[in-house]
Structure 1
Amino acid sequence: MADSARSNSALGWLADPLASTADAAQRAYRFTSDRRAYLAPIAIGLALLLVSLVGLTSNASQFFYSYFIGWISCLTIAVGGLFFLFFNHLTKASWSVVVRRVNEALVWAFPLLFVLGIPILFGMHDLYHWTHAELYVEGGPKYDEILAGKRSYLNTPFWIGRVVVYFALWIYLSYKLYVLSVRSDVEGGAGVPAKLRKVSAWGLPVTAVATAFASYDLLMSTDPHWFSTIFGIYFFIGGILAAVSLMVVLLASFQRVGGMLEGVVTKEHYHDLGKYMFGFTVFWAYIAFSQYMLIWYAGIPEETLFYKHRLMHGWEWHSAFLIIFHFIVPFLILLPRFTKRSIPTLSFMAVWLIVMHWFDMHWIAAPTQGAHHTFHWLDLTLGLGLFLIFAGTIVYRLSRHSLIPEKDPYLGDSLHFENV
């Protein structure tokens, strides 16, 4: 009831235009913090990338692996955010209207991620074993019959072309959904939400197919002898879990630091976001176990090799930590109702799950670099640097427009939303 009272107090001007005031508008939905706040994370991120260039000269292979892991972690978050946006539009989810603009700003980062992905091209020889020309010299000492059979698909020009198509699709859809949403701040009415649902209706299945192929091309092909038909879902579910977690971190930060969205985003909304964090944690574990169980049961050598590499030479500890801290601990903490309604606890778990998502990407990609488990200082500087640039870009986008869709027809329902 207290949350509902604060909501009515902060946004009464929306229901009654005659009661609107500049102060209420600023407090309720405008970016009232320093509009250049985004510069700090971007500047720190760029500084970390510059420091990391020292590692490029001394250990280029490690540099590109660390850069790739940090980059793919951010990319999967953006992809997960795009799916979350589709879901909310298609289901006419009224509860999420007040948090939707943060979701939209998150997926706006695809053009940045495309630019940040360019250095990957210079490290392809280190990252992707299938780019080595000697593997395709029939009769040569390093000839690889399996990779030779995949050459029509796994070749650099075709790979680059496919990645460009993926990004073109992601950028177009995120741009379309964001522009239509911002237009609703002016136009209002039911027309814009209908258009958003129409874009989401065709965008969801097309993006699902593109994301499945992207997961194979970008991440699974770092271990080109291995394959898993469930890997696309694993790629997607880890990203959407981290995306919802990042939304929680941003919303809580805005309210705590700038007093923004105070009385607009309430414990009821955090409760629902916490439900998604809990549900996607369980779903991630289910998909991870399903992949492992089916590969273990079939016992096909080219499939089991993936887990063999991750269950020896120190990687067994990494695998155990992933199970404990990506599933068991979050499951137990997020299970009770009160933890999902405690903003400090939920924010801590959101940060925790974002870190564990990076840990997961490291677990997938790093073993292809070397047999023995290791962490390098470049993993930290490049991973954190790329994430700060990614987050700073999201904050920049949020500073440009209203923090909520002001004239969305479901806004009133969202403001008065209560969990049963």
Structure 2
Amino acid sequence: MNSSTTGASRAPQVCTIGGVIAIILGFVLSGGSFAGWMQDYLVHYTFLVSIMLGALFFVFLQHLTRAGWSVTVRRTAELMAGATPTLVAVALLPIAITLFINGLNLYPWAAGDFFLHHPELRHKTVYLNIPFFLLRAAFCLAVWWWLGRFYLTRSVAQDTDGDPGWTRMMEKWSPAAALLFTATVTLAALDWVMSLSPAWYSTIFPVYIFSGCVVGGLAGLILILLIAQRLGLISRRVVTVEHYHDLGKLLFGFVIFWGYIAFSQYMLIWYGNIPEESQFYLPRQQGIWLFISLGLIFGHLLIPLVGMMPRAIKRNSWTLGFFAVWLLGFHWLDLYWLIKPNWHAAVSPLSLVGGILGGAGVFGIMTGIVLRGLTRYAPIPVRDPRLDEAIHHEVA
């Protein structure tokens, strides 16, 4: 067994163990109470879910558009979407348990006396109640698990028998997958993030969450592909600079889309100046949150917008890999900015560093799961009817 084979076989364990250690160190650095740890846990959980959803979107989009160029990179995305839903479902349990513990409620509306003190929100009890919340969460998780497994298992089955009917089946169900994806992402955005501030609302917020998911999913896909190629799991002859160029263009496009949605939401709320809406931005324009807000403007939009524009940047593995890591970090920071200010007017720099370390650990665990899948299954769909088109793909 040569060193590259040994490295590839050990990489999943190294990534998983390293990820767990990073999460633990992150919690230690962030300090605070158990409630504070659970708040960070919610940030990390939404980060994990968002990357999984971004990968799932990529997979069914390729079948929806009958794309041929992406066949050789699709297996990695299938594993990101199809091998992680069980982890996502289990990881929700600690958050669900907090709903029943007074004083530890991550969601203020879950406290027994919340609506007594906020009678103006009492009409929302029809939607914001624990049984219905858990039912919606179970529905979202079931849909994501089914969709992820649907595409992964059928793609793997085609590796064995080469039946093009598997491709036709996946294409046939992609419009339904798009509708289910839209519905569940909307529910998750409203329930898991927006309801942290029950009085606030924004009709564009689910689209904002969706755009962040795709940025995180594409950045994660690029980074895992680069790692897999470095380990020798995927040949450079089947995933070439042309594929990275197209993935870079997709990532660049959704960075712009994220910026457009973020600006649209802010502009409409600023212009309307309604207390029920502006209350979301006021605490995020004070103290350390102001600097994080400015950091998101530059780090999540302007710097990638200028930095990724040149063609050569997207065709170089080092520069594209740099921006993949960069955008994953700022995608985590975006979720931190959405979630954390609901409890804290300020956070310490050490707590922020601990949170970033925890986010890196979450991605490390996902990377370990995907690398394990790449050693278990064929790293590309070897009998897909459009494989030849993907191998000979060239960007115009």
Q: TM-score range by the shorter chain?
A: over 0.9
Residue of structure 2 equivalent to 1:405: 381
Residue of structure 1 equivalent to 2:114: 135
For residue 340 of structure 2, the aligned residue among 345, 357, 366 is 366
Cα 1:32–1:41 change in 2 (3 A) is: closer
Cα 1:173–1:259 change in 2 (3 A) is: closer
Q: Determine the C-alpha separation between the residues in 2 that align with 1:55 and 1:347.
A: 27
Residue of structure 2 equivalent to 1:38: 12
Q: Determine the C-alpha separation between the residues in 1 that align with 2:315 and 2:216.
A: 19
Residue of structure 1 equivalent to 2:180: 206
Q: Which moved more, 1:356-365 or 1:308-317?
A: 308-317
The alignment status of 1:86 with 2:60, answered yes or no, reads yes
Q: Determine the C-alpha separation between the residues in 2 that align with 1:62 and 1:277.
A: 33
Q: Which moved more, 1:197-206 or 1:43-52?
A: 43-52
Residues 81 and 107 of structure 1 are in contact (CA less than 8 Å); yes or no, is this contact kept in structure 2? yes
Q: Which moved more, 1:239-248 or 1:35-44?
A: 35-44
Residue of structure 1 equivalent to 2:222: 248
Q: Determine the C-alpha separation between the residues in 1 that align with 2:310 and 2:354.
A: 37
Q: How far does residue 261 in structure 1 lie from its aligned partner after superposition?
A: 1.6
Deviations 1:390-417 (A, max 9, x none): 2211212222100111111100011111
Residues 140 and 184 of structure 2 are in contact (CA less than 8 Å); yes or no, is this contact kept in structure 1? yes
Cα 1:49–1:312 change in 2 (3 A) is: closer
**Equivalent position amino acid for 1:278 in 2:** F
Q: Which moved more, 1:177-186 or 1:46-55?
A: 46-55
Residue of structure 1 equivalent to 2:255: 281
Q: How far does residue 176 in structure 1 lie from its aligned partner after superposition?
A: 0.8
For residue 363 of structure 2, the aligned residue among 380, 383, 387 is 387
Residues 311 and 319 of structure 1 are in contact (CA less than 8 Å); yes or no, is this contact kept in structure 2? yes
Deviations 1:278-321 (A, max 9, x none): 10000000010111111112221100110111111331111000
Could you tell me which runs of 5 or more consecutive residues in structure 1 were left unpaired when the two chains were aligned. Answer: 1-30, 138-142
Cα 1:50–1:267 change in 2 (3 A) is: closer
The alignment status of 1:153 with 2:132, answered yes or no, reads no
Q: Which moved more, 1:50-59 or 1:287-296?
A: 50-59
Q: How far does residue 58 in structure 1 lie from its aligned partner after superposition?
A: 5.2
Q: How far does residue 367 in structure 1 lie from its aligned partner after superposition?
A: 0.5
Could you tell me which runs of 5 or more consecutive residues in structure 2 were left unpaired when the two chains were aligned. Answer: none
Q: Determine the C-alpha separation between the residues in 2 that align with 1:145 and 1:292.
A: 28
Residues 52 and 381 of structure 1 are in contact (CA less than 8 Å); yes or no, is this contact kept in structure 2? yes
Residues 228 and 371 of structure 2 are in contact (CA less than 8 Å); yes or no, is this contact kept in structure 1? no
CA RMSD of aligned residues (A): 2.0
The alignment status of 1:272 with 2:251, answered yes or no, reads no
Q: Determine the C-alpha separation between the residues in 1 that align with 2:227 and 2:38.
A: 32
Q: Determine the C-alpha separation between the residues in 2 that align with 1:330 and 1:50.
A: 30
Task: State the SS of the aligned residue for 2:393.
Answer: coil
Residue of structure 2 equivalent to 1:22: none
Residue of structure 1 equivalent to 2:89: 114
Q: How far does residue 91 in structure 1 lie from its aligned partner after superposition?
A: 0.5
Residues 275 and 340 of structure 1 are in contact (CA less than 8 Å); yes or no, is this contact kept in structure 2? yes
Q: Give % identity.
A: 36
For residue 309 of structure 1, the aligned residue among 262, 267, 283 is 283
Task: State the SS of the aligned residue for 1:34.
Answer: helix
Residues 135 and 144 of structure 1 are in contact (CA less than 8 Å); yes or no, is this contact kept in structure 2? yes
**Equivalent position amino acid for 1:37 in 2:** A
**Equivalent position amino acid for 1:264 in 2:** V
Task: State the SS of the aligned residue for 1:127.
Answer: coil
Residue of structure 2 equivalent to 1:292: 266
Q: How far does residue 54 in structure 1 lie from its aligned partner after superposition?
A: 5.7
In the TM superposition, 1:197-236 aligns within 5 A as: 197-236=171-210
Residue of structure 2 equivalent to 1:23: none
Residue of structure 1 equivalent to 2:314: 340
Q: Determine the C-alpha separation between the residues in 2 that align with 1:32 and 1:195.
A: 37
Q: How far does residue 50 in structure 1 lie from its aligned partner after superposition?
A: 4.5
Task: State the SS of the aligned residue for 2:382.
Answer: coil
Q: How far does residue 113 in structure 1 lie from its aligned partner after superposition?
A: 1.2
Q: Determine the C-alpha separation between the residues in 2 that align with 1:285 and 1:56.
A: 29
Q: Determine the C-alpha separation between the residues in 1 that align with 2:367 and 2:390.
A: 25
The alignment status of 1:73 with 2:47, answered yes or no, reads yes
Instruction: Report the TM-score, using the length of structure 1 for normalisation.
Output: 0.88
Q: Determine the C-alpha separation between the residues in 2 that align with 1:278 and 1:57.
A: 36
**Equivalent position amino acid for 2:389 in 1:** D
Deviations 1:4-52 (A, max 9, x none): xxxxxxxxxxxxxxxxxxxxxxxxxxx8853342111111222344556
Cα 1:294–1:183 change in 2 (3 A) is: same
Q: Determine the C-alpha separation between the residues in 1 that align with 2:357 and 2:373.
A: 24
**Equivalent position amino acid for 1:120 in 2:** I
The alignment status of 1:59 with 2:38, answered yes or no, reads no
Task: State the SS of the aligned residue for 1:405.
Answer: coil
**Equivalent position amino acid for 1:294 in 2:** L
Residues 9 and 375 of structure 2 are in contact (CA less than 8 Å); yes or no, is this contact kept in structure 1? yes
Cα 1:341–1:53 change in 2 (3 A) is: closer
Cα 1:326–1:172 change in 2 (3 A) is: same
**Equivalent position amino acid for 1:211 in 2:** V
Q: How far does residue 199 in structure 1 lie from its aligned partner after superposition?
A: 2.0
The alignment status of 1:260 with 2:234, answered yes or no, reads yes
Q: Determine the C-alpha separation between the residues in 2 that align with 1:221 and 1:374.
A: 25
Q: How far does residue 57 in structure 1 lie from its aligned partner after superposition?
A: 9.2
**Equivalent position amino acid for 1:386 in 2:** V
Cα 1:378–1:32 change in 2 (3 A) is: closer
Q: How far does residue 136 in structure 1 lie from its aligned partner after superposition?
A: 2.7
Deviations 1:161-200 (A, max 9, x none): 1101100010011101111101111222431111011121
